[in-house]
Chains A and B, each alone.
Chain A
Amino acid sequence: MTAELTDATVENDADEREVIVRVRSLERHFPIRKGILKRQVGSVKAVDDISFDIYKGETLGLVGESGSGKTTTGRVILRLDDATGGDIEFEGVDLLGLDHKALRALRPKMQTIFQDPHASLNPRMTVASIVGEPLREHSKLRSAEQKARIDELLEIVGLAPDHANRYPHEFSGGQRQRIGIARAIALNPEFIVCDEPIAALDVSIQAQVVNLMEKLQKELGLTYLFISHDLSMVRHVADRVAVMYLGKIVELAGVDDLYDRPLHPYTKALQSAVPLPDPILENMRDRTILEGDIPSPSNPPSGCRFRTRCPIAQEQCKSEVPEFREMRSGQWVACHFAELDSQENAGG
């Protein structure tokens, strides 16, 4: 309704960076059905009118608590799920308007890495056939060429050639995630949605996988949408970050602005909730503890969805959906009462 991100404004602050994915007013509502007739009695507004761009070669972090709509956003962008409203452009092509055939032709450019490497790899397929599957589906490589490409991919992700004939269960979580990455980059994609790619891994293994993903991004010029609930890791990997709450993006900014100068009260509270691995800082910190639970997305609060937990909410928040507005260059915020600090105001 209010999230007006006009193309003119976006192009202005993009300083000529190339947009690879453009999302406008995107919506994914899941119907809630009841009774024998399966009549629709309501809807889960999993993604509700969000707009953003992803620039070529960047990592856009997407953070938020469970149920905020991160996975749904990623799936809809890849057309693994159907939007119920809005527009998506991928490299200038209207993605939602594509027919099956055109979409299939575009598939190799858009890939995904999932959270649980255990569940996403077919246990009855060897590593070679898992990594080779996209090659068989989408490339014209002959079998010897495919084999060479598989060996090359395994080497790129740090697995040995003799791993090719083994099965997923013979690997640790971190190794399985490497297999998933090898498959994702097999067709030289442009854009990868990484949905909680390290959440299931041990801390000491997370760094291995993240370092690998960063290396591949540099070498292959990849663009990532990095979905995670780990705010510390997102600070580490992302160039810009979008914060979701109940289907809405509440703040979108460059990584340093978002972490050093957050403007939305939810972003602030979220950061304040993340413990630091430092006892001295932990004991000095001023904490904003949010009260209450996250409301249900089938019945979100009126006005600003965060208002039931917001420490600065006022009457207006109940009645009016806050506009998603640019408060600093490149920093977009949806809050009626978010404020720049006084110096900035004075300085214009």
Chain B
Amino acid sequence: MTDVVLDVEDLHTRFLTADGVVHAVNGVSFDLHAGEFLGVVGESGSGKSVTMMSLLKLIPMPPGEITAGEANFGDDNLIEMDHEALRDIRGGRIGFIFQDPMTSLNPVITVGKQITEALLEHTDMSKSAAKTRAADLLDLVGIPDAAQRLKNYPHEMSGGMRQRVMIAIALACSPEVIIADEPTTALDVTIQAQIIEQVRKLREELGTAVIWITHDLAVVAGLADRVLVMYGGRIVEEAKVDVLYSNPQHPYTRGLLGSLPRLDQKGHELTSIEGQPPNLLTKPVGCSFAPRCEFAIDKCRTEMPDYYELAIGHRVACHVNLDTGEPR
């Protein structure tokens, strides 16, 4: 087994809002190995972004509040670090890529300057070396005429180009970990395919560990080594990618896969998951999927399921053995 670069234990994050307390992340634990590609899937509001942003204190605090948890990165616990030290890690040893590049790129600074600034802040490179490196980076992420493109402002580029620039910035300081939050969701499908292909190539070349957040189970199927499925602020299932898609053991994962139409198959009946996603304003008692779950037993409504290890690396938070319908 390879080295663990990031080890998150029992993370809890909540938001104190006018409507009440939003229980956004309710005990998330996972680890990330060097060079590994970890997919994180889940629907809107399941806590994917808040989990990852909590690690680097990128959530607004207040109203946000990390009430428990550890995130061990090398010798440090990120949760206990001050903002100063975290700023050094952000963009240095951990790179972040967001869904909408327009909100994270500065509109009045050229992309070249934005890349060199990241380099100058986190490394002791000279200005001219940083400039050369910036052009190399654009080239690396597949932007033609890289040297010319450095002079562009973000609005002079297409959405796909801007997302490539974001990847270049995230890669700038050769990070150990890149966290990509829905990096292709806003893009057209042919442009998404370009970006994914680029990421595939880079992965082979660079060996950086990647956490890729998405609500599209198909996007990570061909990319990830391992996948976490989130629901109601918890990880409900974790498995190696081939196991998750061929042998899903949480009713939510199964439901999700069953509700997906397939490009490569004729119209089979879509099995919809009835009901609505959980209201995070009430602290979950029992399993938060229970109201929508066709397998639910009494225990599901009163006791939060712990993790059952089904095989090495395959764990599921569910009281019921789906194959027998019996309690675990």
Contacts and interface: CB of A to CB of B under 8 A. Distances in A.
Do they bind each other? yes
Contacts of A290: 190, 193-194
A60 to B, nearest CB: 15
A204 B197 contact: no
Contacts of B241: 279
Looking at A205, A230, A281, the one whose CB has the most chain B CB atoms below 10 A away is A205
Do most interface residues of chain A lie in helix, strand or loop, or is the interface mixed? Answer: helix
A293 B158 CA distance: 7
A328 interface: no
A203 interface: yes
B288 to A, nearest CB: 13
A207 B43 contact: no
Contacts of A272: 193
A287 B197 CA distance: 9
A210 interface: yes
Interface stretch (A116-124, A219-227, A232-240, A318-326): A232-240
Contact of B242 (A231, A233, A275, A280): A280
A343 to B, nearest CB: 22
Interface string B260-277: 111111110011111011
Band of interface residues on A: 35 or more
Contacts of B273: 204-205, 207-208
B188 interface: yes
B247 to A, nearest CB: 12
B262 A276 contact: yes
Given A229-B188, A293-B160, A275 B196 contact: yes
Interface string B230-267: 00000000000110011000000001110111111111
Given A235-B263, A269-B190, A289-B193, A204 B245 contact: no
B256 A203 contact: yes
Interface string A171-211: 01011000000000000000000000000001111111011
Contacts of A283: 222
A66 interface: yes
Given A208-B272, A236-B270, A279-B245, A273 B259 contact: no
Contacts of B190: 65, 269-270, 273, 289-290, 294, 309
B5 interface: no
A277 B257 contact: yes
Contacts of A293: 158, 160-161, 191
Interface stretch (B12-20, B173-181, B213-221): B213-221
A140 B267 CA distance: 40
Contact of B263 (A172, A207, A208, A231): A231
B189 interface: yes
Interface in B160-205: 160-161, 188-194, 196-197
B81 to A, nearest CB: 34
A278 interface: yes
Contacts of B191: 293
A259 interface: yes
Contact of A275 (B222, B272, B276): B222
Contacts of A211: 270, 272
A4 interface: no
B218 A274 contact: yes
Contacts of B259: 203-204, 206-207
A256 B266 contact: yes
B189 A202 contact: no
Contacts of A203: 43, 215-217, 256, 259-260
A202 B197 CA distance: 26
B104 interface: no
A293 B259 CA distance: 32
Interface string A79-95: 00000000000000000
Contacts of A256: 266
A308 interface: no
B44 interface: yes
A65 B192 CA distance: 11
Contacts of B219: 275
B262 A208 contact: no
B212 to A, nearest CB: 12
Interface of A: 65-66, 172, 174-175, 202-208, 210-211, 229-233, 235-237, 256, 259, 269-283, 285, 287, 289-291, 293-294, 309
Given A207-B270, A272-B193, 4 more contacts: A204-B259, A207-B259, A232-B260, A285-B222
Please provide the 10 A-B residue pairs with the shortest distance between their CB atoms, ordered closest to farther.
A282-B222, A207-B272, A273-B193, A236-B261, A207-B259, A275-B218, A207-B270, A204-B273, A65-B188, A277-B218
